A and B are shown apart, each in its own frame.
Chain A
Amino acid sequence: MNVFTLDPAGCRWLRRASIAAVAAALAGILLLAVSGWFLTSAALAGAAGPVVALGFNYLIPSAGIRLLAILRTVSRYGERLFSHQAALGAMAGMRGSLFGKLAAQDARTGSDLSGGDASARLIGDIDALEDLIVRKPARPASLVAAGIGVLLAAFAGWASAVALLLLLIALPLLLDRAARRLTKQPAHDAAEALGALRTRYVEYAAARAEIAAYGLADRVTQDLAPLTQALDTARARLHRGEGAIAALLAGYTGLAVAIVLLFSSGPAPQVALALLATAGAIEAMAGLARTAFRQASVSEGLRRLEALLALPEPAATQAGGKPLPLRLGALRLEPGSRVAVTGRSGSGKTLLLEALAGMRAVEVDAAIGEQPPIAQPGTLLRSQFALSPQDAALIAGTIGDNLRLARPGLDNAAMWAALKTVVLDERIGAMPAGLDTRLGEAGGTLSGGERKRLSLARALLAGRPWLLLDEPTEGLDAATERKLVVQLDQWLRETGTGLVLVSHRAAPLSLVGSSVAIERLAPRPV
């Protein structure tokens, strides 16, 4: 369970939560036990006549009962608050470090978690941690409650205490066994069924247009039915298993109280104390039962997180930003040169750009700094190329957030200058919040072509020696396209930046002097 390590602050909160949980459990047991003892003693004293009754010290127990009621409330509140504080801190740390770990992977070799599905699963796994940590304080609380239960049972005689001790030792083992028996298979089945259902459903959801056009909804729903049925069956078994654990606890309480009673040898008030304490001690074990029950479902997610956290940290080998020459097939390009890559759609032009950008592992007849891109470290590729990809690949957030991604320490003037180059300054200047406009929210809805140009502005701001552009003017009207090409030409000249262009449109192709056919480079994903 060493999937995460709590920081010192987290440990402190968890310790406080455990103390509060122990106090709450103690107060809970004592409240009932002392009440029972008080009641019985009071009855005996009352029966013995007014003199004895008046001599009975009722102040301490009755004040104690009220005090315990308050103590239980306060400590239960503390337990919940402190344990959540520990859990939230741990989850925040976990999210941060996990993201750092993922981000540091080389896209060409790292494990692929960029799919929405995988990352959503990851979120779910981290959320499962909350439950795990919040339930941690229940453990010491159960143990202390058990101990105090045995102690109180001893008032009814040593035999009762020993019987209860044995019963309480047996209970966790029994719970563990029962939980494993009841949950292992269904939890596994449920996970399998869920995976199968999700895969199949996503396939159908992707084929939605055809299903709708040809009226195949019933057919497809029927096909999914066995999968949902399997999922429901497994989930129902899990839920019934939870009922069985609850039933086990309830029955065990009856059994334990009856046994403690049968073995008791003390006077009535002490037996009353012992009986109620026994019931309380077993109730306090419910926390353990829940933990045991959830274990099977939680451990799967934890294993995934563990595997991720165990990823190696790639070594950083920053080579500096000195412009390097580029070779595409037989064509050798000095820094500042411009070239178009031609070929039909689907022939691998995008693949070449992604290989140069360090986003994909691709074998290709090309070299940067005398080495094929696949052999160069990612940091070197990044210091040379800035890509504006085919899909704009914007991050959720403001327009400024997207531009600032390009380079640290960008000021507003630089961002506006880049937006002017890509003919977006007027459009974004007209938005009330300007650079702080959130994408996708009212006023920040950009068309496909506008998103493309925002991504182009970001690539310009990165200030790398080579610009990689994938269909930069697709979706633009002729006038805007002309303006963009003129301004881009000027920008390339002023900055001395090289250009690798993929486009089938005449206007941007006028930017380049030479071209190379993609078929010559034979890009092939590895």
Chain B
Amino acid sequence: MIWLLDVPGAALFAGGIALAVSALAGGDGISLLAACMILAGGLIRGGAALLVHASAIRTAQRVVRAWRAHLFPLLLAGRLARPLLAGESAALAIDHMATIEAYQSRFRPARAASAATPLLVAAIVAFASWVSAAILVITLIPFALGMILAGTAARRASERQLAALAQLSGLFVDRVRTLPVIRHFGAEDRITRQVGIATREVAERTVAVLRVAFLSGAVLEFFAALSVALVAVYCGFSLLGLLPFPAPEKLTLGQAFFALAMAPEFYLPMRRLAAAYHEKQLGDAASAALTAVEAETPEPPTSARFDGLQVTGLVIQWPNLHIGPVSFALAPADMVALTGPTGSGKSSLLASIAGQIIPSAGAVRTAGGGVLDPGDIAWAAQTPLLLPGTLAENIALARPDAGTDEIARVASQVGLDALLAARGGLALALDHRGSGLSGGERRRIGLARAILSGRPLLLCDEPTADLDAESGAEIVDLLKALARDRAVLVVTHDPALAAAARLEVAL
């Protein structure tokens, strides 16, 4: 409601000008009061601008905080319909949030203001000249019709433009991403030409689209200008006494001038709204993308005790990826390896077994046919998560109540002894970057965490990738030992690890 403050400021400003002009015309000289009103009007409008901006951003950020509170856990840990690359996830959680903030802080207040302010302006003008107020309100009718006609075409046109631009950006991103292979085949000239032609085509198409899209802007401009012109001409002829019809009201110069000076205020909110239209489009697109992510993520029903894993006909079918159907059984003390080439979606399959991604078809059950309890699953990642804190805290992330002895025991079990001796034991402080830990050490921390969690099903994502031969062999031995008293499921493209498993399932 703060934006309503702008109107009294504008009215004071217009009143000051009207007073000054009528005082001069009446031979009273320069009115000091008028100058003060003009200045005060300007200051009030300035104050309104300050307050509107401050409150708009406060509201917008409240909305964004609510989004984040609900989106971050979903994106970082919830059940998703499709796996997201880290970059995609960041685009949703960070860039789309910025877009929504802009939508909330620019478009929303402008829309709210455009609903009520014109009528308030007309009401104020009506005090000076009800005919002028009526003229302003009447121009709204053809304006609305024009906006419906031009606006619908413009909206469709600009949606097409947005889609074309998004597609072009996609092409550009893809070609930059695949530059190494493009260069390798010596295709850079051809692809550069192709990118050049595509961008030029989109630019030309966009211009054609904009011709239509800007029409609604032109309609707005036209009626904004026309309303001022009509008020000026009516008031002028009324003051001259030359109206071609009986004068409906007796106007003084002051009243007429006030009506004229207020006339541009009538369409001002609509013009501000039009200026925020881009934010609206982007905001709508962002909301749609976010809503698509949070769609259909049903919580699995109550779960059963873990007595082995039964995967039946599991299929993953996304654009760019097709896996399965995959079926296999895993006993409570057992090891199975899922193997396949890089990029074949092994990690996604593992995530859908863990219930983090909804598979396209098939079922993941306990051997007894119950629903797998998420609390029974331990996950050893390729690059394990490290949070700021000590090494002990990081190992105990899954079981913060674990005692120091227990932590020390699993640390030694996964072969972290050398690290502990060299770097000051379990109290070693870690930061996000991993404080100089090697890839192998980091992976051992992940394994230690999984073991300490005491969960009966261990899922391992490429546990030996990028390790030197010796550490790789140690990890394989460790996993073999672990498989004696728990169910271990690994995805790997390491033949040595695959050979250690009871069963290899090739994807």
Contacts of A45 in B (CB 8 A): 239-240
- Residue in contact with A88 in the complex, picked from B176, B207, B242, B464, CB distance below 8 Å: B207
- A218 CA to B78 CA in the complex, in Å? 12
Interface presence of B429 (CB below 8 A): no
**Contact assessment for A445 and B319 in the assembled complex, using a CB-CB cutoff below 8 Å:** yes
Instruction: Verify if B384 is at the interface (C-beta below 8 Å from A).
Output: yes
**In contact, B260 and A95 (Cβ under 8 angstroms):** no
Decide: A69 near B53, CB < 8 A? Known: A207-B383, A346-B464: no
**Is B181 a contact partner of A406 (Cβ separation < 8 A)?**
no
Measured CB to CB, the closest approach of chain A to B185, in angstroms, equals 5
Is B469 in contact with A103, judged by CB distance below 8 angstroms?
Answer: no
CB distance from A480 to the nearest CB of B (A): 12
Partner of B54, one of A80, A243, A405, A449: A243
Q: Which of A103, A117, A122 contacts B182 (CB 8 A)?
A: A103
A96 and B199 form a contact (CB under 8 A): yes
Shortest beta-carbon distance, B355 to chain A, in Å? Answer: 8
In the complex, whether A170 has a CB less than 8 A from a CB of chain B is no
Give the residues in chain B near A26, CB-CB below 8 Å: none
Report A-chain residues with C-beta under 8 Å of the C-beta of B77. 208, 211-212, 215-217, 220
Interface 9-residue window, one of A142-150, A251-259, A366-374, A418-426: A251-259
**Interface of A, helix, strand, loop or mixed by DSSP:** helix
Indicate the member of B181, B203, B317 with the most A CB atoms within 10 Å: B181
Give the complex CA separation of A62 and B173 in angstroms: 56
By beta carbon, the residue of chain B nearest A120 is B173
Say whether B240 contacts A358, CB under 8 Å: no
| B-contact bits for A14-55, CB 8 A (1 contact / 0 none) | 000000000000010001100110111011111000100110
- The number of chain B residues with a CB under 8 A from chain A is 166
Is A223 in contact with B225, judged by CB distance below 8 angstroms? no
CB distance from A66 to the nearest CB of B (A): 5
Mask of B436-465 contacts with A, CB within 8 angstroms, 1/0: 000000000010010001000001010011
Which residues of A, 86-128, contact B by the 8 Å Cβ criterion? 88-89, 91-92, 95-96, 99-100, 102-104, 106-107, 113-117, 119-120, 122-123
Asked if A236 lies at the interface with its beta carbon under 8 angstroms from chain B, I say yes
Check if A429 is an interface residue, CB within 8 A of chain B: no
Q: Report if A72 contacts B (CB, 8 A).
A: yes
Cα of A389 to Cα of B182 in the assembled complex, Å: 12
The answer to whether the Cβ of A56 comes within 8 Å of any Cβ in the partner chain is: yes
- A76-B217, A254-B38 given as contacts; is B21 within 8 A of A31 (CB)? no
Indicate if the CB atoms of A69 and B229 lie closer than 8 Å.
yes
Instruction: Given A251-B43, A252-B42, decide whether A201 and B94 contact each other with a Cβ distance below 8 A.
Output: yes
With contacts A66-B229, A247-B50 taken as known, whether A96 is within 8 angstroms of B196 at the C-beta atoms is yes
Instruction: Please tell me if A213 contacts chain B, counting CB pairs below 8 Å.
Output: yes
Separation of A477 and B267 alpha carbons in the complex (Å): 70
Residues of A within 8 A of B496 (CB): 344-345
B228 contacts A73, C-beta separation under 8 Å: no
Shortest C-beta distance, A507 to chain B (Å), equals 13
Measured in the bound complex, the distance between the Cα atoms of B322 and A439 in whole Å is: 12
Interface residues of A in 49-80 (CB under 8 A from B): 50, 53-54, 56, 58, 61-62, 65-66, 68-70, 72-74, 76-77, 80
Are A213 and B464 in contact, with the CB atoms below 8 A? no
B93 at the A/B interface (Cβ < 8 Å)? yes
Residue A392, interface by CB 8 Å: yes
Q: Is the CB of B202 closer than 8 A to any CB of chain A?
A: yes
Nearest residue, chain B, Cβ from A90: B203
Q: Is A387 in contact with chain B by the CB < 8 A criterion? A: yes
* Contact A504 to B495, CB < 8 A, known contacts A53-B240, A246-B49, A254-B42: yes
Beyond A43-B25, A232-B64, is A68–B225 a contact (Cβ under 8 Å)?
yes
Q: Which residues of B contact A95 (CB under 8 A)?
A: 168, 172, 195-196, 199
Which residues from chain A contact B237 at a C-beta distance below 8 Å? 42, 58, 62
Subset of 17 A-B contacts with CB under 8 Å? A39-B232, A42-B239, A43-B252, A66-B233, A81-B211, A96-B199, A202-B89, A205-B75, A220-B76, A221-B73, A254-B13, A261-B35, A268-B25, A275-B20, A358-B183, A474-B340, A504-B495
